[in-house]
Structure 1
Amino acid sequence: MGKAAFEFHPKNHTVTESSLAKPCSAIDGGFRTGFVPVKEEKGDDLPVRKFKVVDDKPHWFYCGQVGHCPAGMVFVVNPPKSGNTFEKFEGKAKESGGKW
C-alpha cells in the first residue's frame, strides 16, 4: 500500500472521496481536505495533503468546487482495469451536472 499525495494549485480546490454510484457526492466518513485556497504558483511551495492507501480497492475522488466535478475533475486511486473503470466514473461525473 502507500500514500497518495495531492498537490494543490491555484485557485481553490478540494479532494473529496466519493463513490462510483455518486461521483460528485461525498461519502460518509470518507477522506476530505476541505477547500485549500492557493493564490499563486510558488515553485515547490504548494500545499500538499496525503491520503493513506490501506488496501487495493478503488477509492473514488472529486473536486468539490462548484462545477469542477461535472467538468471531469475526478480521479481514482487503484482503478479497476475493466468493469467499473475510471472512464465510467468520469462519464458519470460529467453526466451528473453536479447534482446528487
Structure 2
Amino acid sequence: MFAKTASIVTLLAAVASAMPAANAGTATTGGKLASRTNGDPAITHTVVAGLGGLHFDPDNVVAEIGDVIEWHFLPANHSVAQSSFGAPCKPLNTGNGFFSGFQPTPSGQAPDVFQITIEDTNPIWYYCAQTKGDHCQAGMAGVINQNFNSATNTLAAYKAAAALTGTSEIPAWVNPLEGVIANPNPLGGF
C-alpha cells in the first residue's frame, strides 16, 4: 500500500511541475514575456477605448515595472498616443513615445489590440489622436502611474488643459504597427 501511495505522490508531483504557473504573465510585443524583478508575475491591465463614449475605461491605471497595458478598441475609430502633461493632445516631441495607429471598428471590438510594457513608474500621459470629433478635447485622455502626491499634475488637470487645446495632433514619427497584436480576447464583452 505504501509503495502505491508513494508512486501516486511522485506522479502528482511530476504533473504539477510540468504545468505552467497560474498568472505566469502575458506575452508582449515581439514575444517577450513581461517580468518583474521581485519574481511576482506580470499583470496585464486592460483599458477599453470608446466604452460608453469618448473616454478610456479605466483612464487612470497604476502599474508595476514589467506589467503590460493593453488597449482594446470599440467603434468607431480610436487610437492611443503618448503625450506629456504639459502638452495634452500632442505627441511627445522626442520621438520616443508610442502610437497605436488608428483602429477602425465598425462594430464589436477591433481585431487588434495595442500593448506596451511598463519600464519605470514615471507617469505616462496619453490621448486619442482622432481629430474628427476632437476626441482628446472631449475627454478621451488617460494616465498610467499618476503621481498622487502632486496637487497639480492630475488627470483632471490634464483633461481640463486638453479641452482648451485646438485640435489633436496625429503622431507622424513612430511606427504605428509596433505594439499592435491580434486581439487575444475578441469576445471579451466590452
- What TM-score does the superposition give when structure 1 sets the normalisation length? 0.89
The verdict on how the C-alpha distance between 1:32 and 1:68 changes in structure 2, with shifts beyond 3 A counting, is same
1:15 paired with 2:84, answer no
How many angstroms does 1:37 deviate by? 0.8
Measure, in 2, the Cα distance between the counterparts of 1:47 and 1:91.
Answer: 30
How many angstroms does 1:98 deviate by? 2.5
Measure, in 2, the Cα distance between the counterparts of 1:26 and 1:72.
Answer: 16
Secondary structure of 1:60's match? Answer: strand
Whichever residue aligns with residue 84 of structure 1, its letter is N
Counterparts of 1:43-58 in structure 2 under 5 Å? 46-58=111-123
2:56 aligns with none
> Which runs of 5 or more structure 1 residues have no equivalent in the other structure?
none
Measure, in 2, the Cα distance between the counterparts of 1:29 and 1:80.
Answer: 21
How many angstroms does 1:46 deviate by? 4.8
Cα distance per residue 1:33-68 (max 9 Å; x no partner): 1111111015xx753111111100000000000100
Judge conservation of contact 1:15–1:32 (CA < 8 Å) in 2.
Answer: yes
Judge conservation of contact 2:71–2:113 (CA < 8 Å) in 1.
Answer: yes
Judge conservation of contact 1:9–1:46 (CA < 8 Å) in 2.
Answer: no
Judge conservation of contact 1:75–1:86 (CA < 8 Å) in 2.
Answer: yes
How many angstroms does 1:26 deviate by? 0.6
Secondary structure of 1:65's match? Answer: coil
> Which runs of 5 or more structure 2 residues have no equivalent in the other structure?
1-64, 170-190
Higher strand proportion (structure 1 or 2): 1
Counterparts of 1:12-91 in structure 2 under 5 Å? 12-27=77-92, 28-41=95-108, 46-66=111-131, 67-81=134-148, 82=150, 83-91=152-160
Measure, in 2, the Cα distance between the counterparts of 1:13 and 1:99.
Answer: 12
How many angstroms does 1:87 deviate by? 1.1
Aligned residues: 98
- What TM-score does the superposition give when structure 2 sets the normalisation length? 0.48
Measure, in 2, the Cα distance between the counterparts of 1:57 and 1:99.
Answer: 23
Spell out structure 1 runs of 4+ moving beyond 6 A. none
Cα distance per residue 1:2-52 (max 9 Å; x no partner): 11110100111110000111111011220101111111015xx75311111
- Structure (1 or 2) with the larger CA radius of gyration: 2
Measure, in 2, the Cα distance between the counterparts of 1:59 and 1:95.
Answer: 20
